[in-house]
């Protein structure tokens, strides 16, 4: 076991959310890095779910044009290695995006194989790092926005954009999938 360490901001926000909304679940922190950041168990420890947590600051106020800033709740940015997603031991990946202006945290929750499938569909297969932007609109939609032209970004901001492969709304605050595993 390694000496004392601290959890990062994303892990803290996920753990705090779970403790506030799911008081019958236990949140465990692994003693070493195995690709699982948090482990959840039910009160009897008969069910367990492992989470990989990815945090991003909100890039909306600093990197988006004014017309988008007013329509977006938050805009996160991550860099992924396809191999790490493919080989992930976690049951779910949780992307944590705290809104700088709205003072609300959003969670995008999905299984690693679904994440990899979608990123490959959007960005193709690559050995290079995959840059991913998850944008959350104030109307509670979630999109993978990396590489979209300004015209599509504007459509997205005004809820007129459609692209099934880029639509991550199903996973926005998708705690229900974890609830199913914990029953």
- List pLDDT tens digits, range 30-80: 988 889 999 999 999 999 999 999 999 999 877 777 878 889 999 999 999
Residue 56 domain-assigned?
yes
Distances (CA, A) of 48 to 31, 43, 161, 169: 17, 10, 37, 25
More confident of the two residues 14 and 61: 14
Q: Identify the residue whose tokens are 């493919």.
A: 86
Residue 147 domain-assigned?
yes
Confidence (pLDDT) at 94: 98
Instruction: Look up the domain containing 134 and give its range.
Output: 9-182
Q: What pTM did the predictor assign?
A: 0.94
Alpha-helical runs (H) found in 64-149: 66-69, 82-86, 112-123
What's the structural domain count of the chain? 1
Residue 3 domain-assigned?
no
- Nearest residue to 88 (alpha-carbon basis) of 123, 58, 57, 119: 119
- Nearest residue to 53 (alpha-carbon basis) of 76, 21, 24: 76
């Amino acid at each position: 076991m390694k000496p004392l360490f601290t959890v990062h901001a994303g892990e803290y926000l996920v753990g705090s959310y779970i403790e506030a909304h799911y008081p019958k679940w236990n949140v465990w922190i692994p003693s070493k890095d195995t690709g699982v950041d948090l482990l959840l168990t039910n009160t009897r420890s008969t069910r367990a779910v492992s989470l990989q947590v990815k945090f991003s600051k909100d890039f909306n106020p600093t990197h988006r044009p004014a017309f988008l800033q007013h329509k977006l709740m938050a805009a996160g940015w991550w860099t992924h290695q396809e191999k790490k997603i493919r080989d992930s031991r976690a049951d779910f990946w949780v992307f944590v995006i705290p809104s700088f202006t709205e003072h609300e945290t959003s969670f995008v929750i999905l299984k690693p194989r679904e994440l990899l499938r979608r990123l490959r569909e959007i960005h193709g297969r690559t050995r290079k790092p995959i840059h991913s932007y998850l944008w959350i609109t104030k109307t509670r939609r979630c999109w993978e926005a990396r590489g979209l032209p300004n015209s599509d970004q504007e459509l997205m901001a005004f809820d007129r954009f459609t692209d099934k492969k880029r639509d991550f709304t199903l996973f926005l605050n998708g705690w229900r999938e974890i609830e199913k595993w914990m029953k």
